[in-house]
Chains A and B, each alone.
Chain A
Amino acid sequence: MATTNYTILETSKTNQGTKYIFTSKGKTDIVKAIQYSYVQEYNNKQVYNLGFGDYNMETGETDDIVLTDNGDTYVVFNTVLTTKSMFFEAYPNDMMIVQGSDSAVKFSEKCRQTCKRKCIDVCKKAHRRIGVYREYVNRNFDELNKEYKFYGGILSVDNKIIIEDYIEGKTYQSVLVIKNNV
């Protein structure tokens, strides 16, 4: 049976967040790092941002922009998602926010430097990561709803944010999650 997720090393929890590390075993071995970093308090909940990227063994740096195409995207993403329940075990009263690293303006700028697509207005490779996360939520919405409450963040035309109850299939730039019944 094919692997659906990789073994994760959990690091110690602090009030600034926690990290999870695993190895992607596709075409080559790549160390991946996940970090839930403390952002701020919002409506009496401590908010942590989910970040995720490749750890470069030679430079010691972690890159959340690089697209490695290691042939195991599904397994890697599934592994990242399994840390959600680990996070809420450690921080049951808190909130997590997910924003795709390819949703930032700098991603589109960097992509245009090398991309063959030559997109003019909207970078077609942007927002893929949050898109994958939304797909996962949409696919498992009923099951996930039993344990978690999801909210969707929308960027309006005047650059203001609207947070609403998550609606399946709707496009969001950010997803916020809390554990139910806390």
Chain B
Amino acid sequence: MKTKEKNTDNLVTVSEMALLTLVAAKLEGVVLFPEKIEEAKAFFASIETSVI
């Protein structure tokens, strides 16, 4: 089995919160689950009876 080598010279260690902050910045303005929104819209469009 071949082992894949990775050059770690350019890697830095960040704290968990710094990582999450970075991810949050990358996800800013992004709709993560557009299909779920469409499914929810279809749900409301199909309501026959509701107590709400």
**Residues of A in contact with B (beta carbons under 8 Å apart):** 7, 9, 11, 16, 19, 21-23, 31, 33, 35, 37-40, 42-43, 47, 49, 51, 53, 55, 57, 60, 62, 64, 95, 97, 99, 101, 104, 151, 153, 156, 159-165, 174, 176
Interface residue? B5 (CB, 8 A): no
Interface of B, secondary structure class, is helix
**Closest 9 CB pairs between A and B?**
A51-B33, A160-B48, A163-B50, A9-B20, A39-B40, A49-B40, A62-B32, A161-B47, A161-B46
Please pick, from B19, B21, B36, the residue contacting A37 in the complex, using a CB distance under 8 A.
Answer: B36
Mark B21-47 against chain A: 1 for CB-CB distance below 8 A, else 0: 101101110011101110111011011
Interface residue? B9 (CB, 8 A): no
Name the distance in Å between B39's Cβ and chain A's nearest Cβ: 6
Q: How many interface contacts (CB-CB < 8 Å) are there between A and B? A: 107
- Let me know if A163 and B20 touch, CB within 8 A: no
- Let me know if A51 and B51 touch, CB within 8 A: no
CA distance A148 to B27 in the complex (A): 30
Interface residue? B17 (CB, 8 A): yes
Interface residue? B13 (CB, 8 A): no
| Chain B residue nearest to A9 in the complex (CB) | B20
Please pick, from A33, A163, A174, the residue contacting B52 in the complex, using a CB distance under 8 A.
Answer: A163
CA distance A173 to B26 in the complex (A): 32
- Let me know if A153 and B32 touch, CB within 8 A: no
